Amino acid sequence: MKIDDIYCRVLVVDVLPELICFGWFNNITSLGGVTVSVILHPYTKKEASDRVARWLTILGSDLQLAQKHGETTKIGTLETKYAFYYNLLTDINLRRNNIVAATVTIMITAPGYRELIHKCNHVKDMLGATRAVTMYYRQLEGFIHTLPFISNLDECHDVTAANATCLSPLISTDFTHPSGIYFGINETGSPVFLDLFIGSPRLYGPHMFITGSTRSGKSYTVKGVTARSLAHGISVVIIDPEGEYRKLIEAMGGILIKFKSNMECMFNIFDVEPEEDEETGRQYIDIAGKAEDICHLISSILEAQTGEKISAEERAQAARAVRDEYLAREITEDPESIYLPEGRVTEDGTYTYIGKSYKEMPTISSYVKRLEDMGAKRLANILYPFCKGGGMGYFDGQSIGKFYDNQLVVFDVSALKTEFQRMYAMYVMLSWVWEKFVKKSKKRKRVVVDEAWLLMRHKDTAKFLSDLARRGAKYNTSLMVASQSFREFTTEEGKVLMAQCDTKFFLKMQHTDAQELGEIFNLPDGVVSRIGTFQPGQGILKAGMESAVVTFKGFPFEEHFLRSDPEAVLAR
């Protein structure tokens, strides 16, 4: 058959062995221009039992005849087959197994006729125990069978459920996208490109989850993906708890903001920007959503410091205080209500037109005062250290600067002394990034949260992170979550977050973590064991329904900002 300038020939599998191993057709599908189509139709338990019982009767008769005539060469083979089908019938009747009708076609293409004949003969030789024959005078019928969900051939083979799984091309040995950044190489040496914004049907979301133990290549991969994404015009904000991105900032010309306990306030958690209604496209100020975010923060602070839970009454008081703070400044759902009028009265009484200017937003101090006035003494007392003059008062005040206008911004919280201070700063900055970076435009952008396990230790901060993933997609924002600890993601909220990350990269990890990973994602024992043997940068890349073992590769000119291990620092 000839389609335009391409010669095609369709083969149909005529003989299948009774025992098939995993990836039965991998050796030929790795060849260029070879497509294997497998159509499976499972039998009902009764149909399967009747068919196997019939085979068993035929084999029993053949075995008796062979024994009667003394055909010793046949007796051993028939006895083995009889035992196989006897055990299979038992498993089917006990509902431990089933059989499936399988139809397999192989389409081979080549630019020339001679090359097509050579490739067909080569494929037949490689198939070995699987015999494939040319569909003479039925090429069009065979070609239609290779299309999705079309089964019109009578050539079918009854195989066990396990054999059907081995026939199906469920996992490709190689992975790549047709667009995106260069990510690395497959085990076969072929290049891997990754496009988190490729969309359906390859990916149903732009978020990515990366996990691996110390020295597994996690930060190396995040830096490489970030640098190459910048080259594609994607703006990136990084929340950095370990101070690992300074060299990347220097190389890429970004902005580094390093937090200290005594720093002046630069970011206000009460900043808000207009939100867009998904159904109507109408813009509005989501005061209710901001109230919920503040309640999550207070709840996590209370739990971390006292081990107690916030009561329903206190949660209602905290939310009402947030709404009252905005209403006191005449900030409503109207998007224009967050701005001052264009005409401003100067000291001499004249008008100066300066364009839109933000109103002063509520602060933690004003919020604490309102809680006190409402009688919510416990909540006010909990928040006192977060007011100006307290040990963690670096978010109590009005925001300054427009750091979100830069293509690369890193918020480094590594200088904060305690784990709780870093978690608090990460939460506040994520809330601020959501308002000032994510919601500002619908251009492609990315928010990277490194060592996200700090947020996953508390239910409320974990929920905030998963909500960010859920809400960020509509603003064309990719959330990249990275963590050296996997255990914090085995909670219900952690599983929800991982489910929203359609792309996952599992690097080398401890055996116990690998076992939990295998249980969550139903990985075979052999795969779980292999995770512990991966080299730095090597891991399982799951992108939508596709999976492969790949290695992230850095270029030589990137090494000076990709590596952060002590040997690399000494080398620099």
Q: Quick: pLDDT tens for 537-572.
A: 999 999 998 888 999 999 988 988 888 655 555 555
Scanning the structure block, which residue is given the tokens 């459920």?
161
Measured between alpha carbons, how far is 171 from 297 in angstroms, rounded to an integer?
42
Q: Are residues 373 and 293 located together in one domain of the fold?
A: yes
DSSP label at residue 136: T
Mean pLDDT, the chain, rounded, equals 87
> Does residue 262 fall inside a structural domain?
no
Phi/psi for 59 (5° steps) reads -65, -40
User: How far apart (Å, rounded) are the C-alpha atoms in residues 436 and 110?
Assistant: 54
Could you tell me which residue, 148 or 473, shows the higher pLDDT? 473
Which one is predicted more confidently, 37 or 308? 37
Query: Is 78 among the domain residues?
Result: yes
Residue-level pLDDT at 350: 55
Segment 451-461 mean pLDDT: 88
149 and 29 fall within a common domain = yes
Region of poorest pLDDT, from 166-170, 225-229, 378-382 = 166-170
Asked which of 167, 198, 219 is the last residue of a domain, the reply is 167
Residue 376 · residue 317 · CB < 8 Å: yes
pLDDT by residue (tens digit) across 480-534?
999 998 888 988 889 999 999 999 999 999 888 899 988 888 887 778 888 989 9
Q: Which of 141, 167, 193 is the last residue of a domain?
A: 167
**b/e per residue, 127-151, with b = 16+ CB within 10 A?**
beebebeebeeebeebbebbeeeee
Q: Would you place residue 440 in the very low, low, confident or very high pLDDT band (cuts 50, 70, 90)?
A: confident
Query: CA 266, 271, 275: angle at the middle one, nearest 5?
Result: 140
Higher pLDDT: 348 or 395? It is 395
Residue 7, pLDDT > 90, answer: yes
Amino acid sitting at position 417? K
User: Within this chain, do residues 309 and 424 fall inside the same structural domain, yes or no?
Assistant: no
Percent of the chain with pLDDT over 70: 94
Give the C-alpha separation, 494 to 486, whole Å: 9
Q: Which has the higher per-residue pLDDT, 400 or 291?
A: 291
For residue 258, tell me if it sits in a domain: no
User: Which residues, other chains included, contact 451 with Cβ-Cβ below 8 Å and sequence gap of 6+?
Assistant: 241, 242, 482, 483, 484
161 and 177 in one domain?
Answer: no
- Inter-residue contact 465 to 256 (CB < 8 Å): no
pLDDT tens digit sequence for 401-438: 666 678 999 999 999 888 888 999 998 899 888 888 88
Residue 243 in any domain: the answer is: yes
Do both 277 and 198 map to the same domain? no
Same domain? For 183 and 163 the reply is no
Q: Exposed, middle or buried by CB within 10 Å (0-12, 13-18, 19+), for 172? A: middle
Position 163 scores a pLDDT of 84
pLDDT for 353 equals 47
For residues 225 and 539, the answer to whether their CB atoms sit within 8 Å is no
Integer angstrom CA distances of residue 315 from 105, 289, 467: 62, 14, 18
Q: What is the pLDDT of residue 566?
A: 54
Average pLDDT over residues 277-298: 87
Q: 556 and 420 in one domain?
A: yes
* Boundary of a domain, candidates 132, 150, 167: 167
Give the Cβ contact number of residue 354 at 10 Å: 9
Q: How confident is the model at residue 173 (pLDDT cuts 50, 70, 90)?
A: low
Rounded to a whole number of angstroms, the distance between the first and last alpha carbons of the chain is 61
Helix (H) or strand (E) holding 422: helix 419-433
Query: Are 564 and 446 members of one domain?
Result: yes
Spatial separation of the C-alpha atoms in residues 451 and 551, rounded to whole Å: 21
Are 527 and 508 within 8 A, CB to CB?
no
Flag whether pLDDT at 136 surpasses 70. yes
Largest CA distance in the chain: 122
Same domain for 153 and 296, yes or no, is: no
Residue 206 has pLDDT above 60, yes or no: yes
Q: Which residue has the higher pLDDT, 209 or 526?
A: 209
Stretch 293-300: mean pLDDT, rounded? 88
pLDDT band at 344 (very low <50, low <70, confident <90, very high): low
Question: Could you tell me the residue range of the domain that residue 373 belongs to?
Answer: 268-398
243 and 354: one domain? Answer: no
- Indicate the SS3 state at residue 342: coil
Residue 261 belongs to some domain of the structure:
no
State residue 458's pLDDT score.
83
The enclosing H or E element of 345 equals strand 343-345
**Residues 550, 539: Cα–Cα separation, whole Å:** 6
Q: How many domains does the chain have?
A: 3
- Specify the residue for token string 């691996």: 212
Classify residue 372: in a domain, yes or no.
yes
| Domain harbouring 526, CATH code | 3.40.50.300
168-172, 207-211, 279-283, 536-540: which range is least confident on average?
Answer: 168-172
On whether residue 523 sits in a domain, the answer given is: yes
Cβ contact 254:419 at 8 Å: no
Chain segment 324-336, per-residue pLDDT in tens: 999 999 999 998 9
Radius of gyration of the chain (CA): 31
pLDDT computed for residue 305 by the predictor: 77
pLDDT of 189: 83
Q: What is the mean pLDDT of residues 23-50?
A: 84
Using the predicted structure, report yes or no on whether residue 370 has a pLDDT greater than 90: yes
Q: Nearest Cα to 134, choosing from 33, 9, 1, 27?
A: 9
Q: Do residues 101 and 134 share a domain?
A: yes
What's residue 568's pLDDT?
Answer: 54
Does residue 260 lie within any of the structural domains? Answer: no
Whether 376 and 438 share a structural domain: no
